[in-house]
Structure 1
Amino acid sequence: MKTSVIIPTFNRAATLPRAINSLLRQRDAAELDILVIDDGSTDETPLLLADLMREHAEIRMLRQPNTGVAGARNAGLAHLLPETEFVTFLDSDDISPPGRFAADLPRLRAAPGVALSYGRMMLVDAIDPETLLPTSTAKRADIVGIHLSCAIFRRALIERIGSFDLTLRQAEDTDYLLRVFESGAEFSQTETLCVYYLRHPENMTRNTEEAIRYFALAVLKSIRRRRADPGIVLHKPDFALKSLVEIGYF
């Protein structure tokens, strides 16, 4: 059975190969299906992906007109393979650390009642293009944060939660995770380092006013759901319910 990794991308030809290679180096730990959603890129992304797909059978590409990150993630969910057992996500400017799948997939397989694993993330401002590790001088912050790449989901949970909210230009991932943790799904919180989150000038969250506004909206949606139905309880891993902007990482 496969582990599908959904990578939404838009004009990230400079960083996408690193993201994909960080997954390919973990093929010994997982039968990977790397599904890249090209959300209307106008740079070298389509040609780059065509070359990579000729070399690596694990990579698939879906091209579509630009719809935004939520629409791209939804397209990925709609094109999961029949044999997909687990699902996770990686942004096209981030890196999956060595050992990410080797650490958490066995835990999930050994505990059928656990719907997802959830680990740590490291914010960095420089990645070595050869080793795909933070450079020796990179600034780092190792945290438990709100990030889709920190989770590996069973497919049944993904199908239960449904689609990403297309009304959210940002924080669609926060909204999705809050819906997961309102669902009563059993999770396993691990110490696994799941993602190197690369900070750079083109991060969507660099638009701090918009990032905070949409994060607040995602949290408000969760509050409204729980007020409307007191039976809904937010049972989440040990992360602070604050955006990366609010806790000072941008």
Structure 2
Amino acid sequence: MIGVVIPYFQREPGVLRRAVASVIAQRDVQLPVHLCIVDDSSPLPAHQELAGLESGGVDVNVVVQPNGGPGAARNRGLDSLPSSCEFVAFLDSDDEWAPDHLARAMLALASGANVYFSNFYQLGQTVGAFERAGRLVANRHPTIDGAPGLHQYTGDMFDQVLRGNVIGTPTIVYRRARFENLRFRNDLARAGEDYLFWMAMAHAGARFAFSTQIEAVCGRGVNVYSGVEWATDAFFVRVRNELSYRKATRRLYALNPEQQAHVRRCIRQLRRDFALALLSRLRKGPRLPSGLLAAQWREDAGSLLLLPLALLPVH
């Protein structure tokens, strides 16, 4: 069985319904599919969104929980999957799969891989994420028989995620038994929790496979990362979460000198982003939320102590 986890928090009707329809529309999948939707106290309830939708043989389970963010919702979904689920796939509630996504994932995982990901369209894009970023050159990785565009990933995925991530969360499918106890960090509601998840997989020796075919399209909904605008309250939370993620990589793993230098540059850039956004809010408003500076101090005192230096360009 394949377990699909969708964390759900949306305000616009039709968003979740389209995502679920793309799961139901999967073709040539030899295993049964169990879909777990975790309603993270969505303003538009999942049951209301799915009323009257034919499941097409997919076993659909809706779990409702107090709002905790996407990481907490995915964790609840992982905990709620039946024990018979051999594979886990993630899809966000504002994204949609291509009809052959799961079938291609099963082919790739049958080749000996533990984790599968694919190319995808980011929000509003018509060029694939692989091509836009230029971080993954397919012909450097051996092909997998069975379908065009399938490859074994042969690089250092830990370093890839740390310095130039290529994995889109709505394209991930993995063997559950290999990572039975792996969970997302609940405290990183707006950034970094997925990267740490992939890095933990890589550090544990996962074998990755990927597809150059576009197998997911990111839609416009309540998106806790790409939907965040400059200098908003949510922007400051995202910067704080990204700082926490970058610092966690140094604490959890023995990074080589190049990786350490990369993390230092990222932290300097995040501090600069914080400083510029802070000055923008002080000049133009609205007033800063109470507790913002205290929260930033607790996470990264350097953001405030080094405020003048943070305004210098990062090289």
- The TM-score bracket by the shorter chain reads 0.7 to 0.9
Cα pair 1:53 1:60 within 8 Å, conserved: no
User: What is the CA–CA distance in structure 1 between the aligned matches of 2:23 and 2:210, rounded to whole Å?
Assistant: 22
Is residue 174 of structure 1 aligned with residue 195 of structure 2?
Answer: yes
Moved over 4 A (4+): 53-57
Q: Relative to total residues, which structure has the larger helix share, 1 or 2? A: 2
Task: Trace 1:123-138 onto structure 2 (pairs within 5 A).
Answer: 123-125=122-124
Equivalent residue number for residue 193 of structure 1:
214
Equivalent residue number for residue 73 of structure 1:
74
Per-residue deviation, 1:102: 1.8
Task: Trace 1:150-229 onto structure 2 (pairs within 5 A).
Answer: 150-160=171-181, 162-171=182-191, 172-199=193-220, 202-205=222-225, 206-208=227-229, 209=235, 210-227=237-254
SS state at 1:204 partner:
coil
Q: Could you list the per-position Cα deviations for residues 26-77 of structure 1 after superposition, in whole angstroms to 9, with x for gaps in the alignment?
A: 1532521111011112324322335437775521111112222111111101
Q: Could you list the per-position Cα deviations for residues 167-217 of structure 1 after superposition, in whole angstroms to 9, with x for gaps in the alignment?
A: 1112221221122222211112332423211245x4222225343442343
Equivalent residue number for residue 133 of structure 1:
none
Question: CA separation of 1:219/1:31 partners in 2, compared to 1, >3 Å: closer, same or farther?
Answer: farther
- The alignment of Structure 1 onto Structure 2 pairs a total of residues equal to 214
Q: Residue type matched to 1:141 in 2?
A: V
User: What is the CA–CA distance in structure 1 between the aligned matches of 2:185 and 2:79, rounded to whole Å?
Assistant: 14
Per-residue deviation, 1:8: 0.6
Cα pair 1:170 1:214 within 8 Å, conserved: yes
User: What is the CA–CA distance in structure 2 between the aligned matches of 1:48 and 1:198, rounded to whole Å?
Assistant: 17
Cα pair 1:174 1:215 within 8 Å, conserved: no
Q: Which has the larger radius of gyration?
A: 2
| TM-score (normalizing by structure 2) | 0.61
Equivalent residue number for residue 16 of structure 1:
16
User: What is the CA–CA distance in structure 2 between the aligned matches of 1:67 and 1:211, rounded to whole Å?
Assistant: 15
User: What is the CA–CA distance in structure 2 between the aligned matches of 1:35 and 1:197, rounded to whole Å?
Assistant: 19
Cα pair 2:89 2:172 within 8 Å, conserved: yes
Cα pair 2:37 2:60 within 8 Å, conserved: yes
User: Is there any run of 5+ residues in structure 1 with no aligned partner, and where?
Assistant: 126-138, 235-241
Cα pair 1:95 1:195 within 8 Å, conserved: yes
User: What is the CA–CA distance in structure 2 between the aligned matches of 1:21 and 1:40, rounded to whole Å?
Assistant: 21
Equivalent residue number for residue 149 of structure 1:
170
Cα pair 1:52 1:59 within 8 Å, conserved: no
Question: CA separation of 1:183/1:219 partners in 2, compared to 1, >3 Å: closer, same or farther?
Answer: farther
User: What is the CA–CA distance in structure 1 between the aligned matches of 2:75 and 2:66, rounded to whole Å?
Assistant: 13
Equivalent residue number for residue 126 of structure 2:
140
Cα pair 1:49 1:61 within 8 Å, conserved: no
SS state at 1:193 partner:
strand
SS state at 1:179 partner:
helix
Percent of matched pairs sharing the same residue: 27
Q: Could you list the per-position Cα deviations for residues 75-111 of structure 1 after superposition, in whole angstroms to 9, with x for gaps in the alignment?
A: 1010111210100110000011121112121221242
Q: Relative to total residues, which structure has the larger strand share, 1 or 2? A: 1
Equivalent residue number for residue 90 of structure 2:
89
Cα pair 2:117 2:168 within 8 Å, conserved: no
Q: Residue type matched to 1:26 in 2?
A: Q
Equivalent residue number for residue 38 of structure 1:
39
Cα pair 1:10 1:40 within 8 Å, conserved: yes
SS state at 1:95 partner:
strand
Q: Aligned-pair RMSD on alpha carbons?
A: 2.6
User: Is there any run of 5+ residues in structure 2 with no aligned partner, and where?
Assistant: 131-165, 230-234, 260-265, 271-315
Equivalent residue number for residue 120 of structure 1:
119
